[in-house]
Amino acid sequence: MFKIKRLYLFVLQTFLPLFIMTFFICLFIVLMQFLWKYIDDLVGKGLDVAVIGELFFYAALTMVPLALPLAILLASLMAFGNLGEHLELTAMKSAGVSLIKVMSPLIIFLTFVSVGAFFFQNDVLPKAQVKMWSLLFSMRQKSPELDIPEGAFYDQIEGYNLYVKHKDRETGMLHGMMIYDVSNGYGYANIIVADSGKLSMTTDKKHLVLQLYSGESFEDLKDNRSAVSRRKAGMLYRRESFGHKEILIPFDATFNRMGDETMSNQYIGKNFKELSHTIDSLTVRSDSIGDGLADKLRDEPLCGVAQRRVIYHDNKRYEEPIPPVTLSKAIDVDSIINSMSVNDKRNVIDLAKNKAVRLKQEMQFKGYSLEDNLATMRRHEIELQKKFTLSFACLIFFFIGAPLGAIIRKGGLGVPIVISVFLFIVYYIIDNTGYKLARDGRWSVWEGIWLSSEVLLPLGIFLTYKAVNDSAVFNPDAYINFFKRITGQQQVRHIQMKDIVMDDVVPGVAIGKLTQLKSDCESFLLRYDKRQDYFSYWTKGYDKSVIRKLSQEEENAVEYLENSTQALVINKLMDFPILRQLYTYNPVGNKKIGIIVACVLPIGLIGYLIGTMHQKNLKRDIRMVAKVCDELLVMLNESSEKDADIINRENGK
């Protein structure tokens, strides 16, 4: 009978609550982003709560591909950060359980989540997107709820602008009204001024009824006369005074829900099988359009000679290629052009230019349909690739979050949220950049859609490797030392006095090591006492074997003197610089190749300046080694003399 291990059960119990919590938090955040983006389409429309709730439900489903990777990243960071902060991860490792083994139940769980994410993208998401966009477009087309402000023109009624000076909230009466009726065009506006009025809606909610009291109307009258005749005779208009007037205004306030058929035929409403079928159809169509354009270009007359001719046989139309025209001798076109008059030359050139421009414009116009077809095909290919990128992103974010949490060893919502948001912003920017490059056809679709995964996958592998090997990823000293090693800067040596010394330092042996090291340093400085010239640097350089020998002698002397019980000696050892084996000391190693590199300017000159600077730093460090050797020799000699005096006194007694 299968039984899950207690360790695996503990890891799952630690991760799952955090995963569920972070998923709904991330989903809520992206849903709020959706709300702020489309708030103008929802506010002031008088929509039912049920309709808005339905829109939010489908919007939440469409936001799952955005919230799921972020939730996995945040949950894995928090889970393994908590394990590291409470030393539980350390206890597991001390018991011989590797980090990969600790992660194994979550790897299996998230593999199932990734598979489920693919089926969600393929089966659920297209239907949810169709429902959401159908609802959203229906809400955009709905007329806004009627709310006429005081002291400002209201233009939400198509063809009418209304102005109300004052509204009586209790009776619903509108006072000081001015109405601009431009439903017949701004050139024939009908202006109505009324002392008061009242606005109501018909029972079918498709018309507004405007009751006006004590007012006047001014209307331009249409006629069929010319503009000149109207200016001579004067403009015709009509003025009307009324005590009561009723106006019926078309205003559809009902919510007409758009059908799902339109959106289901778009790329967002298709599953993997339908997308593949559409892509194949679009590919065939694009090839057909391209072949037609190519045939059209091939059939264009060349120098006035047609490429094909039409023949009729038995009342049937046939096309056959025209044999190429053979010339007995070559035609000197330049001599023909030069023999023409200036006007004839201009006419020939203009004719050729106009024909080329016409043909180019014709091909461009016909190519628009091909471009639209290719853009539609790219949209379908992008949606097809997205079926897989979500599943892969879930695994990548886990292999980033879990090792990172084990490295930083910080749980809670502080540091993990900051790191997660930063990584997700980077992912989102890269993903959108790749999407736009793929959508516009600048990159192939698979390159653009998988760009974010290609960038973050090496990061996940790097962090997992570092976490498994307990490497100090966030140790600033390691990066500072690496930078110093690259730039040739001097590094600081750190030595501590040992509490227990197994092998005591023999002064004679130590003096011998330091004397030999000092002698070798002085020999090196005498050998390279001057700065190397340009060609000497590239053909000779410094002898790396000598530098390697000096470095080894120094390290041996330091290692031996680390066992000293004298604090002054230990402190002085830290003054020894670390001799680095830099490539720039002798970059080529071959005289012939060095001459070739030296001749390549300005690369050779730049390399020479950097290399001689590193050589100068090396000689400075070697001088420091010789100086420290002198100081240590003085200390050891004084210590030996004191020990000898003590021994002599004890023997005298």
> How large is the average pLDDT for residues 343-367?
82
- Residue 441: helix, strand or coil by DSSP? coil
Q: Residue 588 phi/psi, 5° resolution?
A: -105, -60
Residue 478: the pLDDT is 59
pLDDT exceeds 50 at position 179: yes
What is the average pLDDT score of the chain?
81
pLDDT exceeds 60 at position 479: no
pLDDT tens sequence across 513-535: 899 999 999 999 999 988 998 88
Residue 257: the pLDDT is 67
How would you label 505-526 residue by residue, b for 16+ Cβ within 10 Å and e otherwise?
A: bebeebbebbeebbebbeebee
Domain boundaries, the chain: 6-141+384-468, 153-250, 482-652
> How large is the average pLDDT for residues 333-351?
84
pLDDT tens sequence across 233-246: 455 668 888 888 88
More confident residue, 644 or 62: 62
pLDDT exceeds 50 at position 593: yes
Instruction: Label residue 223 by pLDDT band (50, 70, 90).
Output: low
More confident residue, 337 or 307: 337
Residue 516: the pLDDT is 92
Distance CA 264, CA 134 (A): 9
Distance CA 429, CA 71 (A): 18
Which own/partner pairs from 84-90 qualify as long-range (CB within 8 Å, at least 24 positions apart)? 84/405, 84/406, 84/407, 84/408, 84/409, 84/410, 84/411, 85/409, 85/410, 85/411, 86/411, 89/406, 89/409
How would you label 410-435 residue by residue, b for 16+ Cβ within 10 Å and e otherwise?
A: bbeeebbeebbeebbeebeebbeebb
> How large is the average pLDDT for residues 278-302?
77
pLDDT tens sequence across 77-107: 888 888 888 888 888 888 888 888 888 899 9
Q: How far is CA 632 from the centre of its chain?
A: 57
Q: How far is CA 249 from the centre of its chain?
A: 51
Give the up-direction half-sphere exposure of residue 13: CA atoms within 13 A in the CB hemisphere: 7
Nearest one of 58, 74, 13 to 427, comparing CA atoms: 74
Q: Residue 507 phi/psi, 5° resolution?
A: -55, -40
Specify the range with the lowest mean pLDDT, choosing from 109-118, 352-361, 455-464. 352-361
Residue 520: the pLDDT is 92
Residue 224: the pLDDT is 45
Select the highest-mean-pLDDT range: 3-17, 44-58, 185-199, 509-523: 509-523
Q: Other C-beta atoms within 10 Å of 586: how many?
A: 20
> How large is the average pLDDT for residues 258-287?
81
pLDDT exceeds 80 at position 620: yes
Residue 525: the pLDDT is 92
Amino acid identity of 34?
Answer: F
130 Cβ partners below 8 Å, 6+ apart?
260, 263, 264, 266, 268, 269
What is the percentage of the chain residues whose pLDDT exceeds 70? 85
pLDDT tens sequence across 41-56: 676 666 778 888 888 8
Omega of the bond prior to 602 within 30 degrees of 0, cis?
A: yes
Specify the range with the lowest mean pLDDT, choosing from 54-58, 544-548, 590-594. 590-594
Structure tokens at 464: 């997992």
Distance CA 444, CA 454 (A): 14
Instruction: Label residue 225 by pLDDT band (50, 70, 90).
Output: very low
Helices 451-468 and 342-408: crossing angle, nearest 10°? Answer: 30
Instruction: Label residue 603 by pLDDT band (50, 70, 90).
Output: confident
